[in-house]
Structure 1
Amino acid sequence: MNLTVSPTLPTDCQLPRWLETCLLSHQEDSDGHTAECPEEKSNNLLVCKAFQFAYSLHKGQRRASGEPYICHPIEVANLLRDLGGDSAMIAAGFLHDVVEDTDITSEEIEAQFGQDVRRLVEGVTKLSKFNFESKTERQAENFRRMFLAMAQDVRVIVVKLADRLHNMRTLEHLNDQKRRRIALETMEIFAPLANRLGIGRFKWELEDLSFKYLEPEAYRKMQEYVSEKRADREARLRQVAETLRQRLESADITVGDVSSRPKHLYSIYRKMEMQKKDFHEIYDIAAVRLIVGTHEECYRALAIAHDAFRPIPGRFKDYIGLPKPNRYQSLHTVVIGTKGKPIEVQIRTLEMHHVAEYGIAAHWKYKETGTSSNARVTTDDDKFTWLRQLLEWQKDLKDAQEFLENVKGNLFDEDVYVFTPDGDVIPLARGATSVDFAYRIHTEVGNHCAGAKVNGRLVTLDTPLQNGDIVEILTQKNGHPSLDWLNFVVTAGARNRIRQWYKRSHRDENIARARDMLEKELGKNGFEALLKSAPAQAAAERCNYQSVEDLLAGLGYGEVTLNLVVNRLREAVKAQQPPIATDHSKAAHGTESLLTGMLTTGPKLKPISSASPILGIEGLLHHVAGCCNPLPGEPIIGVVGLGSRGISIHRQGCPNLEEIPGDRLIPVSWNPLEQNGNRQTYPVHVRIEVIDRVGVLKDILSHLSDLQINVHKAQVKTFPGQTAEIDLGLDVRDHAHLEQTFNQIRKMTDVLKLRRISEIE
């Protein structure tokens, strides 16, 4: 690839020194030949060309601050270079907005810069379109896509984080509403992501900048607190640092660096809020960091620090022996420094410091340093354990609201570390119990869990585990999950597997429910033959099920919708059967009659001008029967009343019709024009069997609210140690609207059964 760059340096924006040097090194001489490039010529040339390409496309564009737009891509690329990103990442930093803001296509990016750069630019462009404050379903889908993008190439998220960090640095130029929206999204999504990826320098700055716009008064107070007596605090820190340096050198410990700093504003504020303390009560507002040579020297330095200054009991944390999920390693201790003021001391090697600052990017920036002989070897799988777990359970979690809660909990939660009897370390979310531990070991261990021993002593299954606990799970062959477990497990994996077990245990009921749904939709004639036919098996496979029975089970508890199954059946029939002649005499029975019916579109209705919602009783007094509450779209029949109430409209098949003589029955039907154009609602009553837990009714009502379904009545029945029943009175427009509502409710993971009932008592 013959890449060249312009010899003219831009004059309308400040260039980093490295970029200026790169551009100058690739200027063409007067003969048109490219000058000799320094080492890694092609990589530098790719970066330079990406800059020139972005500069030409963004020329004339301005940011809200009034500065040239190209300043933003330059800063993003600069952040990525500081992280040690490769040439493709830095090029993507320059180009990340060109597809969205100019007429350039992804194909042109690939033609100019290769497939790797195109993939990164496309990934960042897609992430930029995600709206994390929109409706629950869309927000959940955006999270799913974001985590999938991370799993495919984590560099996409790192480029996006650099983009977000520079946008946060220039946020003051937007209006207050936009500032708060972007700051909230940053605090809830991007700062936790930076933390999970271990990029500490991004995480702290994103949090402080978000804090500045979300809580401006609290931010100002924290600035005042930290700035007060700053000179005195810095003098104390320098004195402690110098004392430690001298002690370490006397003990022949290699000291790479000794530095001191105050903690970040949001970190102090959050600690004050969580611990309900005033500023002067927080111990570790200031910290001294010691960089030594080896793991062994870390622990020797700790002993020296404790000998030089009195340690505060219970304030020691060993993140070297038990690293954080983002690979952070360090020793933390709090000691009483000079003048009786507490000071945190952090001790780590240079390699650990690189990981603490750069996280996942540390092996890009410092790959040339290699790995010390004493360093703990960490595979790529170890680095992304939390991401892999998210991807595993999100496949099965259908309810969008719960998915979002678990995602945010997984991003924010700190882990506790417990051990198996064999000494293997298992990280779990804070507050996790023995049941969470059991399911983390294996699904079958969780399903057959009957008890637990922690540190050799029997404990109740709901006992929260602590750092360093040794956990042994006791199992029984006939054991099974209890509904009570859902009241105390905290990990999404455990909660999801408990619910899966209960849904599988109701498999026969789900299959029966699905058969009823399909029979009502397709009719009885030939129904059994259809389920045993090749088109039915093909439809099951199209819906990602191995058998027709599996498909029915999925339909029964809402994994797939009735419309999808019917459409897949119709497509399978069409593909496997030749056109059927109009002679229906030989198709009066069996599968062929049903298949023919499935392939027809139904009779066309003539326009009707009547304003009455029900045809056949125009001008007569009538009412909808409360015993069955028929809905538009359902077959109905009229019953002539014996009193003065006129004609009552029932669903066909209503049990109350069995005792009605035939001479009182009147054929009636819904007016299709009135049904299509009218937004009138009709009452319907449903019973939902759910796994009993705190907040389940609230979640269901919230889900219905999102669907804009009015609930005019609600009643809950609970039974100790069993499932609960929730009876709801809903207002829906027609039968299709009810089916749509049913399908959405069945997707909720706590819902086991759902059916229509007569009026709630």
Structure 2
Amino acid sequence: MNLPEKRILISDLCGLLNAYMPEEQVKNVYRAYMVAATAHDGQYRRSGEAYVFHPISVAMILAELKLDYYCIVAALLHDCIEDTTLTHENIVDEFGEEVAHIVQGVSKLTGLEFHSNLEKQAQNFRKLLLAMSTDMRVIMIKLADRLHNMRTLQSVNREKQLRIAKDTAEIHAPIARRLGLNSIKSELEELCFKFIHPYRYEVLEHKIRKRYGNLNKITIQIEQEIKHRLAQEGLDKVQISGRKKATNSIYKKMKSKHLKFSEVLDMYGFRVIVDNVDQCYQALGIIHNLYKPLPGKFKDYVALPKVNGYQSLHTVLFGPGKIFIEVQIRSKDMDFISEYGIAAHWHYKKKNVNSAELANNWLGSLLDIQQNSGTSIEFLEKAKDDLFPSEVFVFTPKGEIIQLPYKSRALDFAYAIHTNVGNHTVKAKIDGVNVDIATELRSGQTIEIITDKNAKPKPSWLQIAVTVRGKSAIKANLKEESSYELAQLGEHLLNNALDYQDNHSPISKKKWKTCLIELKCSSKKELYIKIALSEILLSFALNKLQGQEGEASNNRISITNTKGKAVNFARCCYPIPGDKVAGILTNSKGLTLHRFDCGNLIHAKQKDEQWLEVDWQADKNEEFEVLIRVEIENRRGMLASIANAIAKINVNIEHLEVEERDHTMRALNLIISTKNIAQLDETMYTIKSLKFVHSVTRV
């Protein structure tokens, strides 16, 4: 889809609809436009244009996807219930129940009070899901609505641009990807990048235009060579198109692989469309014979489709002129579903439309999540997690393929089979070998689940499960079966957190009562259970119990010393006083401090583990271990020189490991004792001052 260069008129919309709709339906679409124009009369957008041009543009986006009559009419009326005097009953009378139901599903919540924008967003998303569960056209209109809003986002202030663009990147673009709506997904992602990082977008656009101009002849040459070779081998009815990769796609690659622009080689892609599956593999062999394939860069999404139903063969090749090219090979049916996704369901006459089936499977998964989520905000966060899967393909003992998110465990596989299987799991077999239920899965493995009717979920399973479906099912079961154990765990975590505060004054009955009311808990036991299940963040409960009346929420605790307390220091990142730190609370280890940018802390947050920001003011006499890496020339006496240098500033080496790089260089991994970050900086400066030292870094 291209950005519109001119205003879309109702005549443009009707002209497009005439190509695939009966004349009578097109007339009714025009009648819907007249109703919308009358209802929105006197309303204007931020850009200054009449509001009715917005629903026309939304309907045009859907018409490009060839959506049906009811969806186009609903798109024209989608803001009427919310923003005008037109009612649900009026729409039923004029256009029938089906159109009215879709419009009602798209309408935002009105007449309700929310504590925050996040809660409003979460409630709207939940309502959208419930409407989607009966008609997927609701989400189609919502995505088209967001796409047009993004196209016209330059009309609003910078703060609103950022908020809307980030919201779109987190929710709408991933939903479009999940539903196979690649044209909408790609444009949304490109616009999000443009508004979130405008300077980076402009710089990259300039560089891409410059490079594309220089290599335009080569891309035409490649396209002709591929077409000629395929024709020689009997594939003469092939469609081939070349394109440069989107700015956003190139930026993501540069960021994820730490590349400079000049190092991005596969900037050009070619799409080869053939008649059937057999010709896909035939064309692949011919093209691999024409250009040398890059090892490890072939992906077969035909045999193993993506979660949204997308199918294609992807390969990266060494092309002429020392450039890399990506080639996608697919059949006409695959290309159709790739472009239209779930929209194919309404105008593709074959019964086996993968995208529609997979979209409904995903919707069923989200419905399970919403039923087991305590709050709308919790549901929104879980749904976001479910929108960003990287797939692992594993097999049941009968040979059926099960798709799971990356890093899924054997326990997640059990819950993917059925909730009852998951709830009674005791162990698993991977390729015939007994394994623990926490074992991480890899693509291609065959998984068998061993169950016992007396087995039941444990609170510790929440730390094992990766999939949202698995976590939700475990929580639902624990609420019913293990309330006593959960209450004990939650009470233990809360009491420990209160102890770390060095505030031994008792919590008044008034504060307890206020805390329970504000967190919507009927008793302390319910609060403890929700803390154990991470349905209420520990930091929220602490703020309610310890904050002064009227005081802003402060999601952190203070620690003045660590002696005599269950406080541990993570060996993955070696935090010391002066670092920005957070603590993970567990029933077994107490509080473990991590540096705020530690990968393990980030992973713990994603797994809903209890964590708190920590204001750490250590005792002046305490010392803490920290790991540094020293790159040195390989010469005699250098270890003694380092030890003598840091001994002069009262720093000790607790542990030493030597890595032989080559005959001229060595790397030393030193664990040293230091009091704070200032002393660490002094130590690193002292070591760096030695002539044979090339670099000193903190690990």
Amino acid aligned to 1:304: I
Q: 1:207 to 1:291 in 2, by over 3 A?
A: same
Partner residue in 2 for 1:755: none
Indicate which of 402, 407, 417 corresponds to 1:441. Answer: 417
Aligned pairs (5 A) from 1:353-372: 353-367=335-349, 370=350
One-letter amino acid of the counterpart of residue 126, structure 1: K
SS in 1 for 2:438: coil
How much has 1:21 moved relative to structure 2?
Answer: 4.9
Q: Is the 8 A contact 1:254 1:292 kept in 2?
A: no
Is 2:204 the partner of 1:244?
Answer: no
Q: 2:329 aligns with which of 347, 350, 365?
A: 347
Measure how far apart 1:143 and its partner are. 2.5
1:700 aligns with 2:676: no
Q: 1:157 aligns with which of 139, 148, 160?
A: 139
Post-superposition Cα deviations, 1:5-64, rounded to whole Å, max 9, x if no partner, equal xxxxxxx965365546599x9xxxxxxxxxxx9972331221111122223333443322
Question: Separation in 2 of the partners of 1:179 and 1:194?
Answer: 20
Letter matched to residue 50 of structure 1: A
The corresponding residue for 1:230 is 212
Partners of 2:170 and 2:115 in 1: how far apart?
A: 11
Residue aligned with 1:191, SS? helix
Contact 1:97 1:125 in 2 (8 A): yes
Matched, 1:408 2:384: yes
Equivalent residue number for residue 145 of structure 1 = 127
Q: Does 1:303 align with 2:285?
A: yes
Instruction: Note if 1:88 corresponds to 2:70.
Output: yes
Deviation at 1:473, TM superposition (A): 2.6
Aligned to 2:9: 15
Cα–Cα, structure 1 residues 697 and 296, in superposed 2: closer, same or farther, change >3 Å?
A: closer
Check if 1:327 corresponds to 2:303.
Answer: no
Matches within 5 A, 1:158-177: 158-177=140-159
Distance 1:47 1:632, change over 3 A: closer
Is 1:181 matched up with 2:157? Answer: no
- Report the counterpart of residue 266 of structure 1 in structure 2: 248
Q: Name 1:420's counterpart in structure 2.
A: 396
| TM-aligned CA distance change 1:424 to 1:262, over 3 Å | same
Q: Please show how residues 44-123 of structure 1 align to structure 2 within 5 Å.
A: 44-123=26-105
Q: Which moved more, 1:454-463 or 1:266-275?
A: 454-463
Evaluate the alpha carbon distance shift between residue 508 and residue 490 of structure 1 in structure 2; reply closer, same or farther with a 3 A threshold.
closer
Cα drift, residue 708 of structure 1: 9.4
Deviation at 1:313, TM superposition (A): 1.2
Unaligned runs of 5+ in 1: 1-11, 26-36, 514-556, 559-624, 635-674, 676-683, 728-747, 752-761
Deviations 1:221-267 (A, max 9, x none): 22123223212333222222222111222222253410011122222
Residues 308 and 359, structure 2, Cα contact 8 Å, conserved in 1: yes
Amino acid at match of 1:192: P
Instruction: Give the Cα separation in 2 of the matches to 1:433 and 1:123.
Output: 36
Name the structure 2 match of 1:506: 482
- Paired residue secondary structure (1:85): coil
Provide Cα deviations, 1:286-322, integer angstroms capped at 9, x if missing partner: 2100000001101111111111111111111111111
C-alpha distance in 1 between matches for 2:507 and 2:199: 59
Structure 1 residue 332: Cα displacement: 0.7
Find the residue that maps to 1:54 and give its secondary structure: helix
> Deviation at 1:420?
1.1
Q: Deviations over 1:495-514 (max 9, x none)?
A: 2333344444435789x99x
1:103 to 1:235, Cα distance in 2 relative to 1, 3 A:
same
Tell me how far 1:161 sits from its aligned partner. 1.1
The one-letter code sitting in structure 2 at the alignment partner of 1:494 is: G
**316 and 80 in structure 1: CA distance in 2 versus 1, 3 angstrom threshold:** same
Amino acid at match of 2:26: N
SS at match of 1:84: coil
Q: Could you tell me the percent identity over the aligned residues?
A: 38
Say if 1:310 and 1:458 are closer, same or farther in 2 by CA, change over 3 A.
farther
AA in 2 matched with 1:15 = L
Contact 1:262–1:285 under 8 Å retained in 2: yes
Specify the structure having the higher radius of gyration (Cα): 1
SS of the aligned residue for 1:273 comes to helix
**AA paired with 1:313?**
P
For 1:170-212, what per-residue CA distance to the aligned partner results, in whole angstroms no more than 9, with x for missing partners?
Answer: 1111111121121111111111111111111111111111111
TM (norm. structure 2) is 0.69
Amino acid of the structure 2 residue aligned with 1:81: A
Q: Deviations for 1:650-688, whole angstroms, at most 9, x for unmatched residues?
A: xxxxxxxxxxxxxxxxxxxxxxxxx9xxxxxxxx99998
Distance in 2 of aligned mates of 1:131 and 1:280:
52
What is the root-mean-square deviation of aligned Cα atoms in Å? Answer: 4.2
Report if the CA contact (8 A) 2:16-2:63 is conserved: no
Query: For residue 409 of structure 1, what is the amino acid of its counterpart?
Result: D
Give the 3-state SS of the residue equivalent to 1:427 in structure 2.
Answer: strand
> Matched residue pairs, number?
544
Q: Structure 2 counterpart of 1:257, which letter?
A: Q
Q: Do 2:374 and 2:535's aligned partners in 1 also have CA atoms closer than 8 Å?
A: no
What is the CA distance between 1:631 and its match in structure 2? 4.3
Looking at structure 2, the residues matched to 294 and 128 of structure 1 have their Cα atoms a distance apart, in angstroms, of 50
Partner of 1:204: 186
Q: Are the structure 2 counterparts of residues 236 and 127 from structure 1 closer, same or farther at C-alpha, using a change threshold of 3 Å?
A: farther
**Matched letter for residue 284 of structure 1:** D
What is the CA–CA distance in structure 1 between the aligned matches of 2:368 and 2:88, rounded to whole Å? 31
Structure 1 length-normalised TM: 0.63
Q: Partner residue of 1:651?
A: none
Alignment of 1:586-601 (within 5 A): none
1:505-535 deviation per Cα after TM superposition (whole angstroms, max 9, x unaligned) = 435789x99xxxxxxxxxxxxxxxxxxxxxx
Following the alignment from structure 1 to structure 2, what is the Cα–Cα distance between the partners of residues 366 and 246?
A: 32
Secondary structure of 1:287 counterpart? strand
Question: Do the aligned residues in 1 keep the contact of 2:463 with 2:609 (CA within 8 Å)?
Answer: no
Contact 2:423–2:456 (CA under 8 A) maintained in structure 1:
yes
Q: How far 1:100 moved relative to its partner?
A: 2.8
**Contact 1:483–1:692, Cα closer than 8 Å, also in 2:** no
The aligned counterpart of 2:598 is none
Q: Secondary structure at the match of 2:387?
A: helix
Higher mean C-alpha displacement, 696-705 vs 489-498:
696-705
1:460-479 alignment, distance < 5 Å: 460-475=436-451, 479=455
* Residue type at the aligned position of 1:388: G
- CA separation of 1:102/1:377 partners in 2, compared to 1, >3 Å: closer, same or farther? closer
Contact 1:131 1:142 in 2 (8 A): no
- 1:248 match: secondary structure: helix
Residues 402/265 of structure 1: CA separation in 2 closer, same or farther (3 Å cut): same
Distance in structure 2 (CA, Å) of the matches to 1:199 and 1:413 = 16
Letter in 2 for 1:142: N
Contact 1:449 1:480 in 2 (8 A): yes
Letter in 2 for 1:319: Y
Select which of 281, 288, 295 maps to 2:270: 288
1:567-646 equivalence runs, <5 A: 629-631=508-510
Give the whole-Å Cα distance in 1 for the aligned partners of 2:379 and 2:331: 38
Q: Does the 8 Å CA contact 2:240/2:272 hold for their aligned counterparts? A: yes
1:83-136: CA deviations, max 9, x gaps?
111111111222222333332222112211211221222222227999999355
Which of 97, 116, 124 does residue 106 from structure 2 map onto? 124
The Cα shift of 1:385 comes to 1.0
Answer yes or no: is the 8 Å Cα contact 1:172–1:179 preserved in 2: yes
- Contact preservation (8 Å) 1:95, 1:121: yes
SS of residue paired to 2:404: strand
- 8 Å CA contact 1:244–1:305 kept in 2: the answer is yes
Change (3 A) 1:706 1:725: farther
User: Closer, same or farther in 2 for the Cα pair 1:125/1:333, shift >3 Å?
Assistant: same
User: For the Cα contact (< 8 Å) 1:692–1:724, is it kept in 2?
Assistant: no
